[in-house]
Structure 1
Amino acid sequence: MTSREIRDQFFEFFKEKEHRIIPSAPVVPYDDPTLLFTNAGMNQFKDVFLGKGHRDYNRAANTQKCIRVSGKHNDLEEVGRDTYHHTFFEMLGNWSLGDPAKPNEGYYKKEAITWAWELLTDIWKLPKERLWATVYRTDDESYDIWKEKTDIDPKHILRFDEKDNFWEMGETGPCGPCSEIHINIGDDYNNPKWVNAGVEECIEIWNLVFIQYNRDENGTLHDLPAKHVDTGMGFERIVAMLQNKSSNYDTDIFMPLINKISELAGFKEKGDKERVAVQVIADHIRTLTFAIADGATPGNEGRGYVLRRILRRAARFGRNLNFTEPFLYKLVDVLVDTMSDVFPEIKTNQESVKKIIRAEEVNFNVTLDRGIHQFNEIALKAINNANYKEEYIIIVRSDQRISVNTKPKVGTQYKNISDYRIENWSSEETQKYLTKKPIISGDEVFKLYDTYGFPVDLTNVMAQEKGMAIDEDRFNELMKEQKERARSSTKNKIAEAGITVESLDGFEGDTSQTTEFTGYNEISTKTKIIAIKEIDKNILLIFDKTPFYAESGGQIDDLGTLQIGDKTFDIIDVAKIENKIVHVIDNPDNIKFEIGSTVKLSVDETRRNDIIRNHSATHLMNAALRQVLGENVQQSGSYVGPDRLRFDFTHYQKLTDEELQKIEDIVNEKISEHIERIRHADTPFDEAKKMGALMFFGDKYGDKVNVIQFGDFSMEFCGGTHVNNTSDIKYFKIVSESSIASGVRRIEAVTGRGVAKYIEELENKVSELTSKIGETASEIKSIQSRISDLSSEAKYEINEDSQIAISIQTEDIAKVKQSLSKNEDADIQVVKNVITELENNISILSSKLSDLNEEKRKLEKKLSELELKSKLGGIDSIIKSPVEISGIKLFKGKVDASNMDELKSMGDELRNNMKSGIGVLISAFDEKVGIVCVVSDDLIKEKKLMAGKIVGSIAKIVGGGGGGRPHLATAGGRDVSKIDEALNETGEIIKGLLS
């Protein structure tokens, strides 16, 4: 039977049992921010088990896409090495949802057990003598059903404790006993000791969970009013059984992938190392394809980081198959061909998935080679420091080879028996030659992670391949320290005051009362002081209510003033601690505040308006990003301040100018539509999910949440402050797009007054460029004039017109800036025209300035050549009037050089013309002395005269030093006044060298 037929038979069987066949939930659980990935079929029924939801059916069956790579279900280290562990798998399941109002439609233990036995033995004909059933140790009901209602061998019914046969959703909540079905395919299949022993010959194939209790906070079990059945069967495992394969990887589920990997790698036969690599890659590409197709993307946090780890792990195993270029993305097509009939979403998102995977591969390949080289250096050091067995001597040579030698006997030398490159050293060599596993330090592991992007589990795999271990405890310490440093770098006044999120120690007054936030509806209010803490020149106050927003969700806190009597104080910081909003008051005169006093709090309205414009624009941009780039875009960070907004999001490549313009246009279109903001305050969490509000993985939500909605375009969970109408944003302008990490992009943008400031910056840029063009044109004229003095060449004609015609008048630009800064409507199209016109002018002027600078550079080079030529003509007199020193011609003199390069050129010219002799030229430039000495080849050979020795001796006279090659050497000095003395002493220096 094919895997497709097996899956279809499962569906048909439960259809006949009146089950509804439902689609798989996405592997990315967007409605459950507590969960990284869907890891069981029951995830989509969690609300039913918790009594918070219901379905219009009581019996269901499906195949659920699952990913297990973290927590208690982390099988990552086993994947590819054994026959049956996977990071991605299908879970066939059937459920009775136990609605008390429809008891006749549900079922419980008897049906679940007998139907499972019927499907396995009557339909699929699995050998009964190889099947085992396990039950919870006190679950007599299930035990009796197995014994009396099936024909399983009674000796094959075993009892186990909580670890193996009691299912719990969490520390509290729904739970119950379970009954597992195992199959033993080994020779010793009648022996109970192999059940739950963790051996490949005897594995669990189906788990039947009976949810009948609710565990309270004290650990006490209470009967549930409705009982549920939740079953899960590993599809890959049952296919292996029915296709009579000893490994899941040998089934028709995996073979198309394995064949493609083998084809790409160009081999037919595989050793153990290659077999593991192929199986790891085949498994991991399934996880990547399904997760990305469902909207996840590789990144640096949460599920994104898990995917990045998996992809990098697969890429590293690809090196074991000699893949040096991106290859994983080529496997996506195979999955689409074999699985899109069941999971059409992978075909719908096929090209997007391939692009994302390929981009990640390209990025990682840049550092993978350097990282592997660094790891090999670390491994060599570990081997060098290791203790080797008594009969061997291990030497790590300078050429990075490992020399293994036998220990010499008395009177003999040691004998080399093997040489290894570190790449070829494996766990076998470690076991053979070393006394114990070398340990790679946590500091080295952290460096590989921090510098080269190597996840710790990837380093661990590489270490295991060489028979080494890593100090994971130390690595975790360093990770914790890094996080602490990141946290400490953002300390504010409140942190400096010694107050933490866990404590309000040191406050006088009532710190038990929750602060009422009134800032959604007002920016000023009268309130009472309920708690005080003094610290230096600041005082920290808590009020019974406040309009001040404390930093949260990317939106920074409000600033403003406190007024008491006729005195006004600045509020310089705000933070939320334990549902209390703490205000930091600048109190330079140490004025005393009293608990119970009434004060007036006023938020800086202009600043607040700037912030809310940027916050609402962030929501609109998020929706526009998903519309333009696809639903797989996920927010990974944000900043909402008065000056700008910053939005970090997952995406695999740089956005094109067209994409950025489209995003900007969509947001401005929504601004022009005057969409009213709707705030769904204190909405029950489940109701908000049903509304379709966008939530963010890792955020913690209470039972009730706030939802911000702008028409049918944007709806997000959000507790921040926002505009009342999109038109209040006035205009949205993207000012930059960049990469901040692999797979994470950042957009910065401005709105309202920020756009007015941006336009002003564009105007200043136009003025600056215009001025620079004029200055550069004048400089070119001056250079051309100097060239004319030295040459008869024609003058270079330049266009002095640096003014570009601007179609929009200055007064119109001023009006636009005013409409953006004041409480006036801004005309979106007019604003866009102004910005476009100014940006175009900057582009034209920048191009013109670039052309002029290039022309200036060419003319400066031409001028330098002419000046040098003129100066070279000045050494004619030196060449014509040498002096003789012991029969050797000495050509010496002062010259006018601008720098050392020019002086060396003169030295070359002198050497070319003097035939035989010594040349010494000295010049002053930049208030220093420059010296060049040249010696002809015959004197170097016959008299052993070296330019370096000569110039070094001369340089001492002017307070310097130098050296160089035998035929040309240079030196410098500080004392310009001794140039003549140095020239006069040159002859004596040469005489001294000849003697």
Structure 2
Amino acid sequence: MFEADVYSNDFFESAGFLRKQCPSGAWFWTLDPERVYSGDQEGVEYTFIGRQVFDGQYTLAQLRERALRWYEAQGHARMGSYPVLASLWRDDLLFNSASICDFQPHVIERQLEPPANPLVVAQKCVRLNDLENVGRSGRHLSSFTMLGHHAFNFEGEPEIYWISRTVELCHRFFTEELGADPKGITYVESAWAGGGNAGPCVEVMYEGIEIATLVFMSLAEDPDGEHDIKGVRYTAMPTRVVDTGYGLERVVWASQGTPNIYAAVSPGFLEKLVERTGFAIQGGIIDDYFRKMSSQDIETPLQYEKVQRQIAAELGVTPKELARAVRPAETLFTLCDFTRTLLLMLNDHVLPSNKDAGYLVRQLAKRIMVMLEEEQIDITPMELLGMQFDAMASDFPELEGKRETAQDIIAAELERHETTMERGRNQLIKEIKKLKKKKRTVFPNDKIFYFYDTLGLPLHYTREVIEEESDLELELTDEAWREFFNKSMALDAKKEARSWPEGQAATDRLYYEDPYATTGDAKVLSVHGDWVVLDQTIFYPEGGGQPYDTGALHIDGSELEVVEVQYHNGTIFHRLAEAPGDDLRGEQVSLSVDWSRRYGLMRAHSATHLLNATLREVLGFHVRQMGAQKGVESSRFDIAHYRTITPGQIQEIEGRINEVIFSGAPITTEVMQRGSAESRYGFFIYQGGFVPFDQLRIVTLGEGGMDEAIDIEACAGTHLRDIREAALFKLLEVKQIQNNVYRLRYSVGDEALSFFQQSEQLLNKVVRAVGSSRDDALQKVTNLMEETKEQSKLLSGYEESLIQLQANASRDAAESKPTLYFFKSPVPKDRAMRHIIRMARTGKNQAFFVIFEDGALFIRSKDLKAIDFKASSEQFGAFELLKASPDMVILGGRPEAGAAWDVGRRLMGRA
């Protein structure tokens, strides 16, 4: 915690605020001399419920606009909300959880300038760390709108504003603009940390609820720092940032005074749900319960159950009676919140998958489906999403036109869910039986989390099945739950970056001035082994999915081959085939680029932009680039998409692309300031990934603005002047590489033409081979395939009969079980395997020990576990004997046969 003088400021002093200490220990500032409590202590019920504490009742859209306009009047520039998918510009965060995330780390560390200073933004946020409390507490949300007004005070520059002005703006907004009682507001001293930064903060409390947090970010994470906050060391940073967060949904709730936040945020949606289900969500014990529950701080499902028991005692009912009364309301509240969050995710192109952000979308969708099934609600997930879509339309106009696609995404997910839930229950029951057989008394935590995390079985559902099927105990602790959740939210470890020499001069990038230039001149500034740095270059470095250029440096008649080019902090490094030596430093050199490679990559890159735009047209708005690699011979493009891409769609995509190529469309490049580009074109100009520069190269395919152009992206690659130069486009392959991720491989220009020529040659070979005309070739091949299939069936039946005869002749005459068949197969192993497995599967208490030319196979009908042996194994010397005497009957009583027979009996455990 920080010293008292950190929080003291001119506004508090001039306005007459008093600093007091709450019995709970917290220090706070207030205008009420009679106030004893800070308002932040746990368990104190909210006092705004059923009362009017502002000058009016607001919807989210009304409050958001009112707040943005007010801060604009105070000198702040209004910014649009960034996407909820923070991994578009951050590698340490999946979803945007606060308005400051928009500017971490690039602006905070001044790698980039802020888009305005000061600024205000109403940021859509997603936080999934309290999912178990959503719907149950009456106040938790998995998505919300955070109003943030931010000021960036850079070292050596005039201060924008700091603590005093921040608190003044906050107090004036709530009292002057919204009509809050000045004496009802308290400012509780605290500390904040997140995203590698920290600082003192004050939590703004009003009528028992925290409506804002004012953070004064001034520290950066440092293991040797002098400040300790929540066990992490920090040190002072040169930039001081005003980081405020106003929970707009909470303010909406307080303005309406409803018993729970969901009734305030989504009244229309809840009314429709109540009408369709007949569930009670208010009145009597339900209102009393949520009034008490909403002020509790609950971190795990186990704590929730404990608190619910306490409230049941206070209300004079049993825990079961209370749970039965409030569960319908909890269900509808949860559905209200989860569908809202799901739509915000889908709107920002996040599809269900098994990894990262998509994994969390899938978990949310699963929970919705399970709830509908468990509570026997006769509404499909698609219909539910449509109801929420209608309810959100006025608050989130950006959803317009996306309803049908969003519903179809969930329809595809429902098909998957129905399969996985059945499989999950079956696996759970199988696991229970296995534990009972081992005489275990406890169902392990790791298994609980497996069924929850991987198969999507809710915790309470898993518990119910375990109780129904066994007397196994659960030992799930709060600590185990926290550890699991932290692991499930963790991102993949970052790959270690290549180390580069620092302090190098920036390289002038001539390839942007003229991407068609094949030669140039430069001066060698430095040499680092086989890498050289030039003052300017025509060589494009690897980046944005475009491979580097190759070519040569020329000096005094000698040619130095350039085999790799890389970019780091404004400097371009050129790797030569051989280390040139330090005497090259300071020399003038001529440059020549491999034009065939460069032009092929330019064609591929420009065609990729066209492909991206076409995929959104044909498949839907949700398509998001997941990766790309351009190449001369072929390129690949990975996209997020939720259904199989059909042959008809492939044909349409290819046709539309070639239509544009044949018609032609100009490709232009404009350098824009980041803030202007984002404001004009939106955040999804970063289709190929975030570009961490203040000045962006905006590449436009086609003519006109945002609505008329074919594609507009921030891109650092080299491009054609007109897409007509791509000449030809051919999709070579489309395949699914992950769940809901598809890879498209394609060729452009000469390589696409080469593919068509090779296909033509192959077709001619087929025509000659089958002895028909082109028109009849397909039918001829089809007929041959049918004939081959029939012959294969006959051959397979004949082989199965041979194996059966050989097996029957070798059957163990002993009455002991299981019955053993020990014989040499008359059919090669690769074809005999499926016949032998079928025999083992259909028989009971049987085993087969079968000799082949290259080994042996042992398989039991009990478990169908196969053991594969090599003929060279010493313990099975009898194999050679059987090869030498293929007609030998095992049961003939010969000594050699007896030796082989002993092998089989030992395997059966009957020696």
Q: TM-score, normalised by structure 2?
A: 0.61
Work out which of the residue numbers 520, 523, 530 in structure 1 matches 2:525.
Answer: 530
TM-superposed deviation, 1:853: 2.2
Work out which of the residue numbers 699, 708, 726 in structure 2 matches 1:708.
Answer: 699
**Conserved? CA contact 2:63–2:252, under 8 Å:** no
Work out which of the residue numbers 587, 594, 607 in structure 1 matches 2:597.
Answer: 607
Name the amino acid aligned to 2:621: E
1:578/1:52 Cα in 2 relative to 1: closer, same or farther (>3 Å)? closer
Cross-structure match for 2:615: 625
TM-superposed deviation, 1:642: 1.1
**Conserved? CA contact 2:698–2:713, under 8 Å:** yes
Work out which of the residue numbers 741, 744, 764 in structure 2 matches 1:744.
Answer: 741
SS in 2 for 1:855: helix
Work out which of the residue numbers 627, 644, 657 in structure 1 matches 2:647.
Answer: 657
Q: Distance in 2 between matches of 1:626 and 1:545?
A: 38
1:730/1:594 Cα in 2 relative to 1: closer, same or farther (>3 Å)? same
Q: Distance in 2 between matches of 1:168 and 1:640?
A: 37
What is the 5 A alignment of 1:726-805? 726-773=723-770, 801-805=771-775
Name the amino acid aligned to 1:851: N
**Conserved? CA contact 1:332–1:354, under 8 Å:** yes
**Conserved? CA contact 1:360–1:743, under 8 Å:** no
Structure 2 residues not aligned, in runs of 5+: 1-49, 108-112, 152-159, 161-167, 221-234, 281-320, 467-472, 703-708, 812-820, 830-845, 862-877, 902-911
Q: Distance in 1 between matches of 2:894 and 2:68?
A: 114
Q: Distance in 1 between matches of 2:476 and 2:860?
A: 50
Asked if residue 288 in structure 1 is aligned to residue 349 in structure 2, the reply is no
Work out which of the residue numbers 705, 715, 725 in structure 1 matches 2:722.
Answer: 725
Name the amino acid aligned to 2:739: S
Q: Distance in 1 between matches of 2:195 and 2:889?
A: 92
Asked if residue 7 in structure 1 is aligned to residue 58 in structure 2, the reply is yes
Name the amino acid aligned to 2:259: K
**Conserved? CA contact 2:641–2:741, under 8 Å:** yes
Name the amino acid aligned to 2:176: W
Q: Distance in 2 between matches of 1:598 and 1:569?
A: 13
Cross-structure match for 2:386: 333
1:592/1:282 Cα in 2 relative to 1: closer, same or farther (>3 Å)? same
Q: Distance in 2 between matches of 1:707 and 1:729?
A: 20
Q: TM-score, normalised by structure 1?
A: 0.56
Cross-structure match for 1:688: 677
SS in 2 for 1:514: coil
1:624/1:26 Cα in 2 relative to 1: closer, same or farther (>3 Å)? farther
Cross-structure match for 1:514: 506
TM-superposed deviation, 1:645: 2.1
Q: Distance in 1 between matches of 2:66 and 2:246?
A: 17
Cross-structure match for 2:127: 69
Q: Distance in 2 between matches of 1:602 and 1:289?
A: 52
TM-superposed deviation, 1:610: 1.1
Cross-structure match for 2:209: 203
**Conserved? CA contact 1:37–1:66, under 8 Å:** no
Work out which of the residue numbers 776, 786, 794 in structure 2 matches 1:854.
Answer: 786
Q: Distance in 2 between matches of 1:372 and 1:859?
A: 43
Structure 1 residues not aligned, in runs of 5+: 101-106, 121-132, 134-145, 147-151, 184-201, 382-395, 404-421, 423-437, 489-499, 506-510, 774-800, 806-843, 869-898, 912-919, 929-947, 966-970
Cross-structure match for 2:139: 84
Name the amino acid aligned to 1:526: D
Cross-structure match for 1:245: 259
Name the amino acid aligned to 1:512: Q
RMSD (Å) for aligned C-alpha atoms: 6.2
Q: Distance in 2 between matches of 1:302 and 1:921?
A: 52
Asked if residue 353 in structure 1 is aligned to residue 406 in structure 2, the reply is yes
1:17/1:66 Cα in 2 relative to 1: closer, same or farther (>3 Å)? closer
TM-superposed deviation, 1:54: 10
**Conserved? CA contact 1:523–1:602, under 8 Å:** yes
**Conserved? CA contact 1:236–1:253, under 8 Å:** no
Cross-structure match for 1:668: 658
**Conserved? CA contact 1:734–1:749, under 8 Å:** yes
**Conserved? CA contact 1:66–1:89, under 8 Å:** yes
Work out which of the residue numbers 568, 575, 578 in structure 1 matches 2:569.
Answer: 578
1:467/1:519 Cα in 2 relative to 1: closer, same or farther (>3 Å)? same
Q: Distance in 1 between matches of 2:383 and 2:733?
A: 33
Name the amino acid aligned to 2:774: I
TM-superposed deviation, 1:446: 9.0
What is the 5 A alignment of 1:796-835? 801-805=771-775
TM-superposed deviation, 1:674: 2.9
Q: How many residues align?
A: 700
- Find the structure with the greater CA-based Rg: 1
**Conserved? CA contact 1:563–1:599, under 8 Å:** yes
Q: Distance in 1 between matches of 2:882 and 2:267?
A: 86
Name the amino acid aligned to 1:675: A
1:253/1:759 Cα in 2 relative to 1: closer, same or farther (>3 Å)? same
TM-superposed deviation, 1:284: 1.0
TM-superposed deviation, 1:724: 1.9
SS in 2 for 1:702: coil
**Conserved? CA contact 1:575–1:583, under 8 Å:** yes
**Conserved? CA contact 1:277–1:320, under 8 Å:** no
Work out which of the residue numbers 306, 311, 331 in structure 1 matches 2:365.
Answer: 311
1:39/1:471 Cα in 2 relative to 1: closer, same or farther (>3 Å)? closer
Q: Distance in 2 between matches of 1:657 and 1:961?
A: 43
Q: Distance in 1 between matches of 2:673 and 2:335?
A: 43
Cross-structure match for 2:204: 180
Cross-structure match for 2:539: 548
Q: Distance in 2 between matches of 1:549 and 1:564?
A: 21
Cross-structure match for 1:787: none
1:464/1:576 Cα in 2 relative to 1: closer, same or farther (>3 Å)? farther
What is the 5 A alignment of 1:474-489? 483=493, 487=495
TM-superposed deviation, 1:749: 1.6
Q: Distance in 2 between matches of 1:980 and 1:375?
A: 50
Cross-structure match for 2:308: none
1:529/1:851 Cα in 2 relative to 1: closer, same or farther (>3 Å)? same
Cross-structure match for 1:28: 83
Q: Distance in 1 between matches of 2:860 and 2:215?
A: 88
SS in 1 for 2:576: strand
TM-superposed deviation, 1:514: 2.0
- Point out which structure has higher relative CO (alpha carbons under 8 A, 6+ apart): 2
1:44/1:311 Cα in 2 relative to 1: closer, same or farther (>3 Å)? same
1:655/1:326 Cα in 2 relative to 1: closer, same or farther (>3 Å)? farther
1:274/1:674 Cα in 2 relative to 1: closer, same or farther (>3 Å)? same
TM-superposed deviation, 1:612: 0.8
1:821-876, Cα deviation, whole Å (9 max, x unpaired): xxxxxxxxxxxxxxxxxxxxxxx7455323212213425656898xx7xxxxxxxx
**Conserved? CA contact 1:445–1:459, under 8 Å:** no
**Conserved? CA contact 2:519–2:590, under 8 Å:** yes
Name the amino acid aligned to 1:504: P
1:472/1:565 Cα in 2 relative to 1: closer, same or farther (>3 Å)? farther
